[in-house]
Amino acid sequence: MRVLLTGFEPFGNSSLNPSGEIVKAIKADNIIGAVLPVVFGQSSEMLKDLIDLHKPDAVVCLGQGEGRHAITPERIAVNLDDARIADNAGNMPTDQLIVDSGPAAYFSTLPVKEMVNAMKSAGVPAAVSMSAGTFVCNHLFYALQHHLVGSTVRSGFIHVPLMDQQRFEFSGLPSMPLAQMVAGVQACLKLLSA
């Protein structure tokens, strides 16, 4: 089972992004890791190129979800870019479709509830999420699912909390130790490989 695992570079005012740090921390022969730019369009094009190049059996994309207390596999990607802040290239789309002819939404093809149970069994706080927002995370998730329509490749998106090292940048928001988030993602990947 070859898995493409992606995270994001830091964005906004942060010097870190836990999703990218998790990808850097997980090393295995069957894991292809990549850290993507927080840029509408560019991130999804890079992801599609990686899928076409490596032909993985599963694609798991990670992103930072500030304000979240748990690791949250996403169920639904919506066909909407609507940014409250600019991406790392200064883009700030408002009420734009991601794919003009695409459906309103796609469901994850990952076993999201089973992933939550696997993470909880590993002692990692986890919950299913019904909204990936409308920023670059959702953009990537929707583009991923659209690209793989009709494919047997399992794919989806997981939001992770802030990491403890970001507490000073995001005062008052919940965080989680990086090692615990790595353990949670590894539990998800183990489930996919079972």
- End-to-end Cα distance, the chain: 9
For 157-179, give the DSSP string. Answer: EEEE-EEGGGTTTSTTS-EE-HH
CA 32, 85, 112, 46 torsion-angle sign: negative
Residue found by looking up tokens 């295995």 in the block: 28
Among 139, 146, 159, 188, the active-site one is 159
Among 74, 139, 146, 188, the active-site one is 74
**141-146-149 Cα angle (round to 5):** 125
Residue 54 is among the residues annotated as catalytic for this protein? no
Residue 74 is among the residues annotated as catalytic for this protein? yes
Among 137, 139, 146, 188, the active-site one is 137
Closest CA to 129 of 62, 80, 68: 68
Residue 159 is among the residues annotated as catalytic for this protein? yes
Closest CA to 59 of 34, 84, 27, 81: 34
Q: Which residues have a catalytic role annotated? A: 74, 137, 159
